[in-house]
């Protein structure tokens, strides 16, 4: 385990969404969502595109306005925190996206160091960007890059890395940050199977070390590796339970039919989408990194 540089702070604690609704131009992205997540949980969120998965993650960082409802983090209303308090919460939340959110012109090591920027002063941050990380931070960066299979790549320009390698740089950034809550939004959609396994293993290790882990997924087979799965349909939770309870019939309702099982038989095009999500053999795994072992 790589030690955290952070001083001891009050843990974020339980996350509770209470009747949360978010509407964009009158269309609901989330509708009356009530979910509780305990500290240290490992949770997968599934659902078709447009089901509200990304919006769910955005409300957890107060990146979109609520139409109604409440979100409590450790008993505190997230949407009434002061700017200073909100900054403190966000500093302890790590995010990883399909698009990586890296600065391609910077070396991989500097991108990894961004995980620590939230805890730096402005002068130290500027020095890190101009001269590179030094001392204990430089050592931690090398350790994390080695941990994700990128040993010796700290000085490599990020744009010169493959897609799978860039995704691992994003994971290394999390390792440096040591967040209490990890929000991973479709992290495997554009990478190869080898990178998928590397990233999954590292995220699970961070969870084992105490971080709460929420991952948005299209791949149901990966979701089944989580002890708890939540499925969204048209902004509403329609399943919340263990993978053993997620039957193919329920998956068909989640991806193709009415969320309450009252819709007519799905058309052939929609039914194909259900099979693609359920059957691992049909998953689209060839992304920016092709099928290489990067």
Name all domains of the chain by residue range, CATH numbers in brackets. Answer: 10-92+222-289 (3.40.50.300)
Q: What per-residue confidence (pLDDT) applies to 8? A: 57
Residue spans of beta strands (DSSP E) within the chain: 15-24, 27-37, 42-46, 68-73, 76-77, 93-97, 181-185, 212-216, 228-233, 236-241
Cβ burial of 17 (10 Å; 0-12, 13-18, 19+) is: buried
Q: What per-residue confidence (pLDDT) applies to 118? A: 59
Given a contact cutoff of 8 angstroms between Cβ atoms, the answer to whether 248 and 242 are in contact is: no
Residue with tokens 């509780």: 36
Would you give the DSSP letter of residue 143?
H
Partners of 97 in beta bridges: 185
Positions of the chain with pLDDT lower than 50, given as ranges: 1-7, 258-294
Residues in the chain: 294
d(CA 182, CA 173): 12
Q: What per-residue confidence (pLDDT) applies to 130? A: 61
List of residues 6+ apart from 93 with CB closer than 8 A: 12, 60, 61, 179, 180, 181, 182, 183
Alpha carbon distance, N-terminus to C-terminus of the chain: 24
């Amino acid at each position: 385990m790589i030690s955290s540089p952070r001083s001891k702070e009050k843990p974020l604690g339980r996350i509770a969404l209470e009747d949360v609704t978010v509407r964009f131009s009158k269309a609901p992205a989330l509708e009356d969502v009530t979910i509780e997540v305990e500290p240290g949980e490992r949770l997968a969120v599934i659902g078709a595109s447009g089901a509200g998965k990304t919006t769910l993650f955005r409300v957890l960082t107060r990146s979109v306005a609520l139409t109604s409802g409440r979100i409590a983090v450790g008993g505190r209303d997230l949407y009434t925190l002061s700017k200073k308090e909100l900054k403190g919460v966000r500093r302890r939340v790590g995010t990883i996206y399909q698009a990586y959110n890296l600065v391609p012109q910077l070396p991989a090591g500097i991108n990894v160091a961004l995980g620590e920027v939230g805890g730096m002063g402005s002068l130290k941050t500027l020095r890190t960007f101009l001269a590179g990380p030094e001392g204990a931070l430089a050592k931690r960066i090398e350790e994390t890059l080695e941990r994700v299979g990128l040993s010796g790549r700290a000085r490599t320009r990020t744009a010169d890395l493959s897609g799978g390698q860039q995704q691992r740089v994003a994971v290394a950034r999390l390792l440096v940050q040591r967040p209490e809550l990890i929000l991973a939004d479709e992290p495997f959609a554009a990478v190869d199977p080898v990178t998928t396994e590397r990233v999954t293993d590292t995220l699970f290790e961070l969870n084992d070390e105490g971080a709460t882990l929420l991952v948005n997924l299209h791949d149901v087979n990966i979701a089944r590796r989580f002890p708890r799965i939540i499925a969204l349909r048209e902004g509403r939770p329609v399943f919340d339970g263990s993978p053993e309870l997620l039957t193919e019939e329920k998956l068909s309702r989640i991806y193709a039919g009415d969320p309450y099982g009252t819709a007519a038989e799905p058309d052939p095009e929609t039914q194909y989408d259900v099979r693609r999500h359920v059957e691992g053999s049909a998953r689209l795994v060839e992304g920016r990194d092709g099928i290489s072992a990067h």
